[in-house]
Amino acid sequence: MKNKSSLQNQILKSIPADEKRVWNTLTALPLEQKKFIWKLIKNSNKEGLIVYKQDIKHLHYLQSKGLISINSLYKSRSGEVSLFVLRDAPYLQRMLRNIARKKVGFS
């Protein structure tokens, strides 16, 4: 448990103060939503974009929390949507993406 706490402390020290609100929202999510957004973060690109091809009703909860937003400039050909993941927290998004992909590097 200490390792998890240590990682959380490193994350909080590494992100700007205005992104800590997003962190608090993430940590307060129900477990299933945490797993879902973790997959989105892991598979997003470095700008935080991902093309989501499954049922979009799964997105409503995360969208209501401000954790994802739909990229309205993306034109779908087969029902998929383009999403911004953690758009309001780019440093946190990149950090979590690197952790999810096992590219952890804290100074």
Strand 81-85 with 68-70, pairing: antiparallel
Domain range summary for the chain, segments of one domain joined by +: 2-100
Within 1-107, residue ranges assigned H as helices are 2-14, 20-27, 31-43, 60-64, 90-100
Tens of pLDDT, residue by residue over 25-74, are: 999 999 999 999 999 999 999 899 999 998 888 899 999 999 999 998 99
Angle at 12 between CA 36 and CA 37, to 5 degrees: 5
Token match 């590097």: residue? Answer: 105
Please tell me the distance from the alpha carbon of residue 47 to that of residue 77, in angstroms, as a whole number: 22
CATH topology for the 2-100 domain: Arc Repressor Mutant, subunit A (1.10.10)
Predicted model pTM: 0.85
